[in-house]
Amino acid sequence: MNKENLDNLRHSCAHLLAAAVLKLYPNAKPTVGPPIEEGFYYDFDFETPISENDLMKIDQKMRELVKKWVSVEKIEVSKNEALKKYKGNKYKQELINEFSEEGKQITFYKSGDFIDLCRGGHVENPSQEIKHFKLLSIAGAYWRGSEKNKMLTRIYGTAFKSKADLDNFLTMKEEAKKRDHKKLGKELDLFTFSDLVGSGLPLYTPKGALLRRLLTEYLEEIQSKEGYSQVWTPQLAKAELFKKSGHYDKFKDDMFIVKSHYSDEEMFLKPMNCPQHTQIYASKSRSYRDLPIRYTDFAMLYRDEQPGQLNGLARVRAFSQDDCHVFCREDQVNDEIDKMLMMTKKVMSTFGFKYRYRLSTRDPKHPEKYFGDLKTWDKVEKWAEKIMKRNNIDYFDGPGEATFYAPKMDLMATDALGREWQLSTVQIDFVQPARFELKFIDKDGKEKTPIMIHRAILGSSERLMMILIEHYSGAFPLWLAPVQVKIIPIAEKHNNFAQKIAKELKKNDIRTDVNEKSESMQKKIREAQLEKVYYMLVVGDREIDSGEINVRTRDGKTSSMTLDVFIKDTKENIAKRTNLS
């Protein structure tokens, strides 16, 4: 079943949900109910709050109603007719007035005796096609995503063409709950949030900060060998910079405004690094011999995400990404991108991700969204396609997913649960260098405009951490584990020996903790397993007498060896950065 057909099925199921709710709660005010990636939702303004205990009876009412939904009828109405229909529903009236102002035809869709304001996209015979669905949860959601508006009740559900697909989804959903990065992040003491700091602004504990640093250091190790140089740029800039780049026109509503006590100058926290990097390039004259120039930047970025869209580390307001911008001649583009793709392949292999690429191109229906001339866009989109074919890359088309200045080659990684996430991106940009009037002196002595290649491999560090926490279920590979070894003395008298071992391990850069609590050995082992520590070393009289240590892995395997052998093997495994967890 293709995406459009699945969306239509889920959209019809959202209507069915609204119909059932109104039968059970006649005073509820329905608002909007779109299909989404994993199913659908519908937002309601209830007079009396409902809970997840009410989902069963709503589900039963849906199954009762759908038997009579043998067709879907489209009805075109005037603005006045629509407003009259929703006389007591300010939410629907707001939408109707907007549609009317935009000159759009107002339409209702009817199934059985239920009518809803809707743009369309439904199955033809709901009674035959809506069979395999389930209501999942209830959450709060501000009307139109703004915390200035009233909090509504959002009911989530999902629907599939077959029972097998639904059952598989629900199984994966249960596994995803166990792997939820917000739950594991707390249990493993990686990050936290504070109402005093602000929503969407993560705070990293020592373990979380270490994990974050290991990821960025790994990438820096790879890219520095390939001639990339780190730069550092301020976290705020004048509005003029973003006006010049075009982000002010296209992105302003997503940017944080910064106020000064001493100046009326309009400033913003930066949502991306590329405009600042153009200014480093422009700070001196450049020759064709200087190119390519490769800048990387791990500076913090800020985006004013709507409160209803914030979700742990998956969607935040403060983040960093492994930004890289290469300024080069046109004849250097292919080699630079091939190098980027090879680096990306190595990183994805380290994490054990399978992946494919999305060729993110313009939305042909909305040319006003993009800067630059059509000929250049045609050229770059075809160029990106040739690059992926030449590199034997599995890709699919993503119309409308381009940025406002360039198409993208977006890597879509598949995690352990089969979910796809966008990580890496490569973009060939003619627009930004032209807008900033960047130049280099070519071999003929004439000024030319460089091409700017945008590249990220990890993408957002925050989002990657979320993906890895869930991908590994918190059981990180040895090289990434915040604590690699936990030493467990059997009794208090063994603490000194445990500390001596810890000292040797730390001298060899092996991250080690000692559990000196006055608890049983079994309880200490259980605690280390819950912390998902990679190795546990149990030490007692036998280990002191024999000179060997008892090594236990988190999956329960045990062995004995000398400390020297353990250190040698562990250091080798860390250096390999194997993705085995």
* pLDDT per position as a tens digit, 129-178: 999 999 999 999 889 888 789 999 999 999 999 999 999 999 999 999 99
Query: What pTM did the predictor assign?
Result: 0.85
Q: 159 near 9, Cβ under 8 Å?
A: yes
Which of these, 226, 231, 449, lies nearest to 338 by C-alpha position?
226
Exactly one of 132, 277, 303, 494 is catalytic; name it: 303
Strand partners, 237: 268
Q: Answer left, alpha or beta for residue 124, where phi above 0 means left and psi between -120 and 50 means alpha.
A: alpha
Average pLDDT value for residue range 467-475: 95
Strand partners, 159: 133
Q: What is the mean pLDDT of the chain?
A: 93
Q: Where in the chain is the domain with CATH 3.30.980.10?
A: 3-169
**DSSP 8-state code for residue 43:** E
Q: Is 15 annotated as a binding residue?
A: no
* pLDDT per position as a tens digit, 60-74: 999 999 999 999 999
Q: 67 near 125, Cβ under 8 Å?
A: no
C-alpha–C-alpha distance, residues 482 and 534, integer Å: 9
Q: Which CATH superfamily includes the segment(s) 191-471?
A: Bira Bifunctional Protein; Domain 2 (3.30.930.10)
Which of these, 134, 138, 139, lies nearest to 159 by C-alpha position?
134
Q: Over pLDDT 70: what percentage of the chain?
A: 99
Determine whether 408 is an active site residue: yes
Exactly one of 294, 435, 454, 511 is catalytic; name it: 454
pLDDT tier at 115, thresholds 50, 70, 90: very high
Q: Where in the chain is the domain with CATH 3.40.50.800?
A: 485-576
Q: Report whether pLDDT(1) > 80.
A: no
Q: Return the pLDDT at 326.
A: 98
Determine whether 274 is an active site residue: yes
Angle between helix 3-24 and helix 55-66 axes, rounded to 10 deg: 110
Determine whether 471 is an active site residue: no
Positive or negative torsion for Cα 471, 474, 477, 481: positive
DSSP string, 100-127: HHTTPPEEEEEETTEEEE------S-HH
Fold exhibited by the domain 3-169: Threonyl-tRNA Synthetase; Chain A, domain 2 (3.30.980)
pLDDT tier at 329, thresholds 50, 70, 90: very high
Determine whether 494 is an active site residue: no
* pLDDT per position as a tens digit, 439-466: 999 999 999 999 999 999 999 999 999 9
Domain covering 485-576: architecture: 3-Layer(aba) Sandwich (3.40)
Q: Return the pLDDT at 148.
A: 85
Exactly one of 118, 274, 324, 328 is catalytic; name it: 274
Exactly one of 408, 435, 532, 554 is catalytic; name it: 408
Q: Return the pLDDT at 275.
A: 95
Q: Is 325 annotated as a binding residue?
A: yes
Determine whether 243 is an active site residue: no
* pLDDT per position as a tens digit, 352-409: 999 999 999 999 888 888 998 899 999 999 999 999 999 999 999 999 999 999 999 9
pLDDT tier at 308, thresholds 50, 70, 90: confident
Q: Is 181 annotated as a binding residue?
A: no
Exactly one of 10, 212, 325, 448 is catalytic; name it: 325
C-alpha–C-alpha distance, residues 325 and 453, integer Å: 6
Determine whether 13 is an active site residue: no
Strand partners, 300: 320
Q: Return the pLDDT at 10.
A: 96
CA 45 to mean position of chain CA atoms? 30
Q: Report whether pLDDT(546) > 80.
A: yes
Residues 199-226, buried b or exposed e (16+ Cβ, 10 A)?
ebebebeebbebbbeebbebbeebbeee
Q: Return the pLDDT at 581.
A: 60
Determine whether 325 is an active site residue: yes
C-alpha–C-alpha distance, residues 156 and 138, integer Å: 6
C-alpha–C-alpha distance, residues 576 and 570, integer Å: 10
